[in-house]
Amino acid sequence: MRKHIFNAGPCKLSDSLLKNTSEAIVEFNGLGQSLIEISHRSKDFQAVMDESVELMKEVLSIPDGYSVVFLGGGASLQFCMIPYNFMASKAFYLNTGTWASKAIKEAKMWGEVVEVSSKDKNFSYYPKGYDIPNDVDYVHITTNNTISGTEIFEDLDVKAPLIADMSSDFLSRPVDVAKYDMIYGGAQKNLGPAGVTFIIIKDELLNKVVADRPIPTMLQYGIHIDKGSMYNTPPVFNIFAVRETLKWVKAMGGVEAMEKLAIERAELLYNTIDSSNMFVSPIAKEDRSRMNIVFVMKDQYKDKEAEFVAFAGERNCIGIKGHRSVGGFRASTYNASTIEDVQALVKAMNDFEAKNA
Ligand SMILES: *Cc1c(COP(=O)(O)O)cnc(C)c1O
C-alpha cells in the first residue's frame, strides 16, 4: 500500500509520473534503449525538452518575452547566480525564513542587502507594509517558506525587477507571471524529483547583467537560454519527470484546480488544528502556507510530540516531524497530496487526542 506521504522535499509525486517515468527508464519510445541511455541531443529527447518548455508556458500562462530553462545545482545555486549576474551594488531581500536567509548570505558577497525580516517572531508571519528603496538592482522574495510555514498569495507590484524563489508553492495557484522578472525553484517540491532547477526569466532582465564583471560560462543565464538548456548535458531523467508532472497538472484542470485542491486540504488540516485542545498553529492566520502546514502541541502535551509522530506513522502517515529549527510537526501537502492523505492524518490527530485527553 502507498503511504500517506507528507515529506517536505523530496516529496509525494503523482502516480502517473511514477508509472510513466519507470516505464521510460526500462525502455523509452520503443527505441530498445532506456531514457537514461539515449543522447540528450537525439530527436526523441529534444521532443521531451521542447514539450516540457511548452507545457510550462501553457500551464502557467507565461506571456511572450520569457524563457524557460532547466539547470542543475538546485535552487541553492540560484542564490549565488542571481546576485552574481544582477547585483551591481544593492538589492532588496525579504527575509522570511531559512531559505531566504541563505539567499541573502550569498547576495552579501556582491553588495549591500536591504533586508525586511520576520525573524523577530521566528518567521511566523509574512512581512507587509514595508518600503523598498528606489535604487535597488532587484527585489528578491520567497513566496512559500517551506520550513517556517508561511506563504504569500499575491503577486507584488514593485518598481525594481522582481525575482521569486517559488520552490515550494510552484503550480499551486495561478500566478501573474508578468509581474515577475524571474521565477525559479528546485523541482523536488511540486514539480519532480530532486536534481533539476526550473527558471522562468524575462528576456529583458538579461540587459541588466552587471557589466565589467567576468561571469563563468556555466553561471551565465544567456548561455543557457541560447543553448536551450543544453549548454552541457541536462538532467534528462528529471526533465522527463517534470514533463509528466506538467501533463498531470494540465489533465487535472491546471493551476486553478491545483489551487482549489490545495485550499481544501489546507482548510481541513488547519480547521482540525484550530479546533483541537492538543495541537496549535504558531503561524499568523492570514499567512499560513497551504503547502507546509506547521503545528505544535500545546505546552501541557509537549512531551507527547515524539509519541504522536510514531502513532501517525503506524497509521501510514509519514514525514510529519517538524524541521529541527522549528520543532513540532510539519505536514507538507503539495500538489500530489490528496484529500484522503489529509483525512488519514486528521483521523490520527483526532484518535491521538481522544486517547490522551
Ligand atoms: C528546498 C528549497 C530550496 C533549496 O532547494 P535545493 O534545490 O535543495 O537547492 C530553496 N528554497 C526553498 C523555498 C525551498 O523550499
For 306-344, what is each residue's pLDDT tens digit? Answer: 999 999 999 999 999 999 888 899 999 999 999 999 999
CATH level 2 (architecture), domain 15-252: 3-Layer(aba) Sandwich (3.40)
Answer yes or no: are the C-beta atoms of 146 and 292 closer than 8 Å: yes
Q: Which long-range contacts (CB under 8 A, 24 or more apart) does 37-42 make?
A: 38/236, 40/230, 40/233, 40/234, 40/236, 41/230
Calculate how far, in angstroms, residue 92's C-alpha sits from the geometric centre of ligand 1. 19
Question: Is the pTM of the predicted complex or chain greater than 0.85?
Answer: yes
Q: Please give the pLDDT value at position 68.
A: 98
pLDDT at 39 over 90: yes
Residues near 47 by Cβ (< 8 Å), separated by ≥ 6? Answer: none
Place of cell 531566504: 100
Q: Please give the pLDDT value at position 326.
A: 83
Bridge partners, 113 (sequence order)? 91
**Atom number, ligand 1, closest to the C-alpha of residue 97:** 13
Answer yes or no: are the C-beta atoms of 342 and 269 closer than 8 Å: yes
Residues enclosing ligand 1, CB less than 6 A? 9, 74-76, 99, 142, 146, 165, 167-168, 186, 189
Q: Which long-range contacts (CB under 8 A, 24 or more apart) does 34-39 make?
A: 35/236, 35/237, 35/240, 36/236, 36/237, 38/236
Q: Is residue 248 flagged as an active site residue?
A: no
User: One of 12, 57, 99, 181 is an active-site residue; which one?
Assistant: 99
Question: If pLDDT is split at 50, 70 and 90, which confidence band does 294 have?
Answer: very high
Calculate how far, in angstroms, residue 352's C-alpha sits from the geometric centre of ligand 1. 32
C-beta neighbour count of 176 within 10 angstroms: 12
Q: Please give the pLDDT value at position 324.
A: 87
Average pLDDT, the chain: 97
**Atom number, ligand 1, closest to the C-alpha of residue 142:** 13
Q: Please give the pLDDT value at position 109.
A: 97
Overall average pLDDT of the 46-73 stretch: 98
> Per-domain residue ranges for the chain?
15-252, 254-355
Give the domain 254-355 fold: Aspartate Aminotransferase, domain 1 (3.90.1150)
Q: Please give the pLDDT value at position 66.
A: 98
Q: Is residue 165 flagged as an active site residue?
A: yes
Q: Is residue 189 flagged as an active site residue?
A: yes
Q: Whose CA is nearest to atom 4 of ligand 1?
A: 75
Calculate how far, in angstroms, residue 76's C-alpha sits from the geometric centre of ligand 1. 6
User: One of 12, 57, 137, 165 is an active-site residue; which one?
Assistant: 165
